[in-house]
Structure 1
Amino acid sequence: MRQSFSNRQITPSLFDRLTDREPRVKTDLPSTAWEQIKDFKDAVARDLTNLLNVRRSEHDIPEEFEETNRSIAAYGIHDFTASPVDAEQMRRFIEQSVRKFEPRLSRVVVHLAETAPHRLDFRISAFLHVEYHSEPVLFDASLPIHSRRFQVIEGR
Protein backbone atom coordinates (compact mmCIF):
# COMPACT_ATOMS: atom_id res chain seq x y z
CA MET A 1 0.00 0.00 0.00
CA ARG A 2 1.39 3.39 -0.99
CA GLN A 3 1.81 5.94 1.77
CA SER A 4 0.15 9.31 1.33
CA PHE A 5 2.29 12.37 0.79
CA SER A 6 1.66 13.69 4.29
CA ASN A 7 2.88 10.47 5.96
CA ARG A 8 6.25 10.25 4.22
CA GLN A 9 9.50 11.98 4.99
CA ILE A 10 11.41 13.60 2.14
CA THR A 11 15.06 12.64 2.00
CA PRO A 12 17.08 15.87 1.83
CA SER A 13 20.17 16.20 -0.34
CA LEU A 14 23.44 14.80 0.97
CA PHE A 15 24.67 18.31 1.76
CA ASP A 16 21.54 19.05 3.78
CA ARG A 17 21.87 15.78 5.66
CA LEU A 18 25.48 16.59 6.57
CA THR A 19 24.70 20.08 7.81
CA ASP A 20 22.55 21.00 10.76
CA ARG A 21 20.84 24.38 10.85
CA GLU A 22 20.18 24.02 14.58
CA PRO A 23 23.12 22.10 16.10
CA ARG A 24 22.06 22.86 19.70
CA VAL A 25 18.79 20.97 19.25
CA LYS A 26 19.44 17.28 19.98
CA THR A 27 16.51 15.86 17.99
CA ASP A 28 14.49 17.45 15.23
CA LEU A 29 10.73 17.52 15.43
CA PRO A 30 8.99 15.82 12.51
CA SER A 31 8.14 18.32 9.78
CA THR A 32 4.80 18.62 8.07
CA ALA A 33 4.62 17.78 4.38
CA TRP A 34 4.33 21.49 3.57
CA GLU A 35 7.45 22.32 5.63
CA GLN A 36 9.41 19.53 3.97
CA ILE A 37 8.52 20.74 0.47
CA LYS A 38 9.34 24.34 1.47
CA ASP A 39 12.73 23.23 2.86
CA PHE A 40 13.37 21.22 -0.32
CA LYS A 41 12.58 24.23 -2.55
CA ASP A 42 14.78 26.47 -0.38
CA ALA A 43 17.63 23.97 -0.79
CA VAL A 44 17.18 23.98 -4.58
CA ALA A 45 17.20 27.81 -4.60
CA ARG A 46 20.39 27.79 -2.50
CA ASP A 47 22.03 25.27 -4.84
CA LEU A 48 20.95 27.25 -7.93
CA THR A 49 22.50 30.36 -6.36
CA ASN A 50 25.75 28.44 -5.85
CA LEU A 51 25.67 27.05 -9.41
CA LEU A 52 25.13 30.48 -10.97
CA ASN A 53 27.85 32.09 -8.87
CA VAL A 54 30.58 29.64 -9.90
CA ARG A 55 32.52 30.93 -12.89
CA ARG A 56 34.07 28.46 -15.27
CA SER A 57 36.68 28.97 -17.93
CA GLU A 58 35.60 30.87 -20.98
CA HIS A 59 37.11 28.06 -23.06
CA ASP A 60 34.63 25.31 -23.75
CA ILE A 61 35.58 21.71 -23.13
CA PRO A 62 35.68 19.87 -26.48
CA GLU A 63 32.50 17.86 -27.14
CA GLU A 64 34.44 14.60 -27.53
CA PHE A 65 35.21 14.76 -23.79
CA GLU A 66 31.65 13.78 -22.84
CA GLU A 67 32.42 12.70 -19.28
CA THR A 68 34.39 15.86 -18.58
CA ASN A 69 31.50 17.97 -19.88
CA ARG A 70 29.23 16.36 -17.28
CA SER A 71 31.77 16.64 -14.45
CA ILE A 72 32.68 19.27 -11.89
CA ALA A 73 35.15 20.67 -14.45
CA ALA A 74 32.16 22.09 -16.37
CA TYR A 75 30.20 23.21 -13.28
CA GLY A 76 29.01 26.81 -13.23
CA ILE A 77 28.47 29.41 -15.91
CA HIS A 78 30.87 31.34 -18.13
CA ASP A 79 32.51 34.41 -16.66
CA PHE A 80 30.62 37.16 -18.46
CA THR A 81 32.87 39.91 -17.14
CA ALA A 82 35.73 38.74 -19.36
CA SER A 83 33.88 39.02 -22.66
CA PRO A 84 30.97 40.94 -24.13
CA VAL A 85 27.83 38.84 -23.98
CA ASP A 86 24.21 39.81 -24.41
CA ALA A 87 21.31 38.91 -22.13
CA GLU A 88 20.05 36.21 -24.53
CA GLN A 89 23.41 34.42 -24.51
CA MET A 90 23.48 34.62 -20.73
CA ARG A 91 19.94 33.19 -20.58
CA ARG A 92 21.02 30.23 -22.73
CA PHE A 93 24.13 29.58 -20.60
CA ILE A 94 22.03 29.64 -17.44
CA GLU A 95 19.44 27.28 -18.92
CA GLN A 96 22.11 24.82 -20.08
CA SER A 97 23.87 24.83 -16.70
CA VAL A 98 20.66 24.30 -14.73
CA ARG A 99 19.60 21.44 -17.03
CA LYS A 100 23.00 19.80 -16.70
CA PHE A 101 23.70 20.23 -12.97
CA GLU A 102 20.35 20.34 -11.16
CA PRO A 103 18.86 16.82 -11.32
CA ARG A 104 15.91 17.73 -9.08
CA LEU A 105 14.55 19.88 -11.91
CA SER A 106 13.29 18.84 -15.34
CA ARG A 107 11.76 20.70 -18.28
CA VAL A 108 13.86 23.72 -17.37
CA VAL A 109 13.13 26.94 -19.25
CA VAL A 110 14.83 30.24 -18.43
CA HIS A 111 13.20 33.53 -19.47
CA LEU A 112 14.66 37.00 -19.39
CA ALA A 113 12.37 38.92 -17.04
CA GLU A 114 11.55 42.61 -16.83
CA THR A 115 14.77 44.15 -15.63
CA ALA A 116 15.38 47.13 -13.41
CA PRO A 117 18.28 49.48 -14.17
CA HIS A 118 21.68 48.02 -13.26
CA ARG A 119 20.27 44.51 -12.83
CA LEU A 120 19.48 41.46 -14.96
CA ASP A 121 16.52 39.31 -13.93
CA PHE A 122 15.74 35.80 -15.07
CA ARG A 123 12.82 33.50 -14.32
CA ILE A 124 13.53 29.77 -14.14
CA SER A 125 10.48 27.57 -14.66
CA ALA A 126 10.73 23.82 -14.27
CA PHE A 127 9.25 20.72 -12.71
CA LEU A 128 10.57 19.88 -9.26
CA HIS A 129 10.99 16.17 -8.53
CA VAL A 130 10.78 15.13 -4.90
CA GLU A 131 11.13 11.34 -4.72
CA TYR A 132 7.50 10.36 -5.37
CA HIS A 133 6.09 13.80 -6.18
CA SER A 134 6.50 16.28 -9.04
CA GLU A 135 5.20 19.83 -9.32
CA PRO A 136 5.83 22.97 -11.37
CA VAL A 137 8.07 25.56 -9.72
CA LEU A 138 9.40 29.03 -10.43
CA PHE A 139 12.66 30.55 -9.28
CA ASP A 140 13.66 34.17 -9.76
CA ALA A 141 17.35 34.82 -10.40
CA SER A 142 18.66 38.36 -10.10
CA LEU A 143 22.11 39.63 -11.03
CA PRO A 144 22.90 43.16 -9.77
CA ILE A 145 25.54 44.57 -12.08
CA HIS A 146 27.54 46.12 -9.22
CA SER A 147 27.95 42.88 -7.25
CA ARG A 148 28.01 40.35 -10.12
CA ARG A 149 26.59 37.72 -7.74
CA PHE A 150 23.33 35.97 -8.46
CA GLN A 151 20.58 35.76 -5.89
CA VAL A 152 17.96 33.03 -6.46
CA ILE A 153 14.66 32.83 -4.60
CA GLU A 154 11.50 30.83 -5.11
CA GLY A 155 9.25 32.73 -7.51
CA ARG A 156 5.63 33.60 -7.02
Structure 2
Amino acid sequence: MARLQPESTVTLSVLDRLIDTEPKTQVEGALTRSQSVRALRASVRRDLEWLLNSRRIAEEPDDKLVDLNKSVYIFGLPDFTTFSKSSTKDRARLLRILQTAVKQFEPRMANVRVVPVETDEFSVHTLRFRIEGLLLMDPAPEHISFDTVLQLTSGEYVVKGEQDA
Protein backbone atom coordinates (compact mmCIF):
# COMPACT_ATOMS: atom_id res chain seq x y z
CA MET A 1 0.00 0.00 0.00
CA ALA A 2 1.36 3.41 -0.98
CA ARG A 3 2.09 5.81 1.83
CA LEU A 4 0.69 9.28 1.57
CA GLN A 5 3.34 11.96 1.65
CA PRO A 6 2.61 14.98 3.77
CA GLU A 7 1.70 17.98 1.69
CA SER A 8 4.89 19.94 1.06
CA THR A 9 4.93 23.70 0.91
CA VAL A 10 6.62 25.88 -1.66
CA THR A 11 9.74 27.66 -0.43
CA LEU A 12 9.32 31.40 -0.80
CA SER A 13 12.15 33.77 -1.67
CA VAL A 14 14.35 35.15 1.09
CA LEU A 15 12.72 38.57 0.71
CA ASP A 16 9.24 37.10 1.10
CA ARG A 17 10.28 35.12 4.14
CA LEU A 18 11.74 38.25 5.75
CA ILE A 19 8.70 40.44 5.08
CA ASP A 20 6.40 40.43 8.09
CA THR A 21 2.89 40.56 6.65
CA GLU A 22 1.33 40.46 10.12
CA PRO A 23 3.56 42.57 12.41
CA LYS A 24 1.13 42.43 15.34
CA THR A 25 1.23 38.63 15.44
CA GLN A 26 4.15 37.28 17.48
CA VAL A 27 4.16 33.75 16.03
CA GLU A 28 2.88 32.98 12.57
CA GLY A 29 1.54 29.53 11.76
CA ALA A 30 3.01 27.34 9.07
CA LEU A 31 1.58 27.79 5.59
CA THR A 32 -0.33 25.03 3.85
CA ARG A 33 0.72 24.10 0.32
CA SER A 34 -2.12 26.06 -1.25
CA GLN A 35 -1.28 29.12 0.88
CA SER A 36 2.40 28.92 -0.04
CA VAL A 37 1.56 28.55 -3.76
CA ARG A 38 -0.75 31.56 -3.51
CA ALA A 39 2.01 33.52 -1.75
CA LEU A 40 4.53 32.53 -4.45
CA ARG A 41 2.17 33.63 -7.23
CA ALA A 42 1.54 36.93 -5.43
CA SER A 43 5.27 37.58 -4.98
CA VAL A 44 5.97 36.84 -8.67
CA ARG A 45 3.16 39.24 -9.63
CA ARG A 46 4.55 41.92 -7.30
CA ASP A 47 8.11 41.45 -8.60
CA LEU A 48 6.96 41.57 -12.23
CA GLU A 49 5.20 44.84 -11.53
CA TRP A 50 8.36 46.22 -9.90
CA LEU A 51 10.43 45.07 -12.89
CA LEU A 52 8.09 46.60 -15.47
CA ASN A 53 7.82 49.88 -13.57
CA SER A 54 11.61 50.22 -13.24
CA ARG A 55 13.49 52.19 -15.88
CA ARG A 56 16.95 51.15 -16.89
CA ILE A 57 19.85 53.43 -17.58
CA ALA A 58 19.52 55.12 -20.98
CA GLU A 59 22.97 54.18 -22.24
CA GLU A 60 23.36 50.62 -23.45
CA PRO A 61 26.52 48.94 -22.15
CA ASP A 62 29.35 48.19 -24.55
CA ASP A 63 28.87 44.84 -26.32
CA LYS A 64 32.35 43.83 -25.17
CA LEU A 65 31.11 43.83 -21.57
CA VAL A 66 29.16 40.58 -21.87
CA ASP A 67 28.65 40.08 -18.13
CA LEU A 68 27.31 43.61 -17.72
CA ASN A 69 24.56 42.79 -20.22
CA LYS A 70 23.44 40.00 -17.86
CA SER A 71 23.55 42.07 -14.67
CA VAL A 72 21.22 44.35 -12.74
CA TYR A 73 22.85 47.24 -14.60
CA ILE A 74 20.15 46.76 -17.22
CA PHE A 75 17.33 45.89 -14.77
CA GLY A 76 14.00 47.35 -15.83
CA LEU A 77 12.71 48.61 -19.14
CA PRO A 78 13.81 51.42 -21.40
CA ASP A 79 11.77 54.61 -21.40
CA PHE A 80 8.84 54.33 -23.82
CA THR A 81 7.71 57.97 -23.84
CA THR A 82 8.05 58.12 -27.63
CA PHE A 83 6.08 54.87 -28.01
CA SER A 84 3.15 54.94 -30.45
CA LYS A 85 0.29 52.53 -29.82
CA SER A 86 -0.78 52.81 -33.44
CA SER A 87 2.62 51.61 -34.70
CA THR A 88 2.75 47.83 -35.10
CA LYS A 89 6.54 48.09 -35.13
CA ASP A 90 6.55 49.85 -31.72
CA ARG A 91 4.08 47.34 -30.24
CA ALA A 92 6.13 44.38 -31.46
CA ARG A 93 9.31 45.98 -30.08
CA LEU A 94 7.65 46.58 -26.71
CA LEU A 95 6.46 42.97 -26.44
CA ARG A 96 9.92 41.69 -27.39
CA ILE A 97 11.62 43.91 -24.77
CA LEU A 98 9.09 42.87 -22.10
CA GLN A 99 9.61 39.19 -22.84
CA THR A 100 13.39 39.55 -22.73
CA ALA A 101 13.26 41.43 -19.40
CA VAL A 102 10.96 38.85 -17.77
CA LYS A 103 13.08 35.95 -19.03
CA GLN A 104 16.24 37.60 -17.70
CA PHE A 105 15.05 38.90 -14.34
CA GLU A 106 12.31 36.50 -13.22
CA PRO A 107 14.05 33.16 -12.66
CA ARG A 108 10.94 31.62 -11.07
CA MET A 109 9.30 31.53 -14.51
CA ALA A 110 10.19 29.43 -17.56
CA ASN A 111 8.86 29.37 -21.13
CA VAL A 112 7.89 33.02 -20.82
CA ARG A 113 5.71 34.54 -23.53
CA VAL A 114 4.25 38.02 -23.76
CA VAL A 115 1.20 38.18 -26.02
CA PRO A 116 -1.03 41.11 -26.94
CA VAL A 117 -4.62 41.04 -25.69
CA GLU A 118 -7.29 42.43 -27.97
CA THR A 119 -10.35 43.79 -26.17
CA ASP A 120 -13.72 45.11 -27.29
CA GLU A 121 -13.19 48.34 -25.41
CA PHE A 122 -11.05 50.86 -27.25
CA SER A 123 -8.69 53.10 -25.38
CA VAL A 124 -5.93 55.22 -26.85
CA HIS A 125 -4.39 55.46 -23.38
CA THR A 126 -3.82 51.78 -22.55
CA LEU A 127 -2.18 48.73 -24.05
CA ARG A 128 -3.10 45.28 -22.76
CA PHE A 129 -1.04 42.12 -22.91
CA ARG A 130 -0.61 38.83 -21.06
CA ILE A 131 2.56 37.45 -19.53
CA GLU A 132 2.43 33.64 -19.59
CA GLY A 133 4.80 30.92 -18.52
CA LEU A 134 5.52 28.10 -16.14
CA LEU A 135 5.92 28.86 -12.46
CA LEU A 136 8.87 26.73 -11.36
CA MET A 137 8.14 24.89 -8.14
CA ASP A 138 8.25 21.38 -6.72
CA PRO A 139 7.00 18.78 -7.36
CA ALA A 140 5.87 20.13 -10.76
CA PRO A 141 5.72 23.54 -12.43
CA GLU A 142 2.32 25.16 -12.91
CA HIS A 143 1.05 27.37 -15.71
CA ILE A 144 0.71 31.00 -14.70
CA SER A 145 -0.50 34.09 -16.52
CA PHE A 146 -0.74 37.75 -15.64
CA ASP A 147 -3.01 40.24 -17.37
CA THR A 148 -1.01 43.42 -17.70
CA VAL A 149 -1.99 46.95 -18.65
CA LEU A 150 0.38 49.70 -19.75
CA GLN A 151 -1.02 53.17 -19.05
CA LEU A 152 0.48 55.09 -21.97
CA THR A 153 -0.08 58.51 -20.41
CA SER A 154 1.85 57.74 -17.23
CA GLY A 155 4.05 54.85 -18.41
CA GLU A 156 2.83 52.78 -15.44
CA TYR A 157 2.30 49.04 -15.69
CA VAL A 158 -0.41 47.29 -13.68
CA VAL A 159 0.03 43.52 -13.36
CA LYS A 160 -2.97 41.44 -12.31
CA GLY A 161 -2.78 37.81 -11.30
CA GLU A 162 -5.35 35.14 -12.07
CA GLN A 163 -7.16 35.70 -8.78
CA ASP A 164 -7.49 39.46 -9.19
CA ALA A 165 -7.97 39.67 -12.97
- Is TM more than 0.5 here? yes
Q: 1:131 to 1:62 in 2, by over 3 A?
A: farther
User: Separation in 1 of the partners of 2:94 and 2:58?
Assistant: 13
Does residue 153 of structure 2 align to residue 149 of structure 1? no
Q: 1:72: which partner in 2? A: 72
- The residue correspondences of 1:56-135 to structure 2 (distance < 5 A) are 56-81=56-81, 83-84=82-83, 86-114=90-118, 116-117=122-123, 118-135=125-142
User: Separation in 2 of the partners of 1:13 and 1:104?
Assistant: 10
Structure 1 runs of 4+ off > 6 angstroms?
none
SS class of match (2:50) = helix
**Cα offsets for 1:75-134 (capped at 9, x unmatched):** 0011111x4461111111100000000000010010111254010111011010024330
Do the aligned residues in 1 keep the contact of 2:102 with 2:112 (CA within 8 Å)? yes
Do the aligned residues in 2 keep the contact of 1:88 with 1:112 (CA within 8 Å)? no
User: Separation in 2 of the partners of 1:7 and 1:26?
Assistant: 25
Number of equivalenced pairs: 153
Cα RMSD for the two superposed structures: 2.0
Query: Cα offset for 1:3?
Result: 8.0
Letter in 2 for 1:96: T
Structure that is richer in strand per residue: 1
**Cα offsets for 1:39-67 (capped at 9, x unmatched):** 10000000000000001133322332121
Does residue 32 of structure 2 align to residue 25 of structure 1? no
Q: 1:41: which partner in 2? A: 41
Do the aligned residues in 1 keep the contact of 2:57 with 2:73 (CA within 8 Å)? no
Q: 1:3 to 1:101 in 2, by over 3 A?
A: farther
Query: Cα offset for 1:28?
Result: 1.3
Q: Give the TM-score normalised by the residue count of structure 1.
A: 0.89
SS class of match (2:67) = helix
Query: What are the ranges of 5 or more consecutive residues in structure 2 without an aligned counterpart?
Result: 85-89
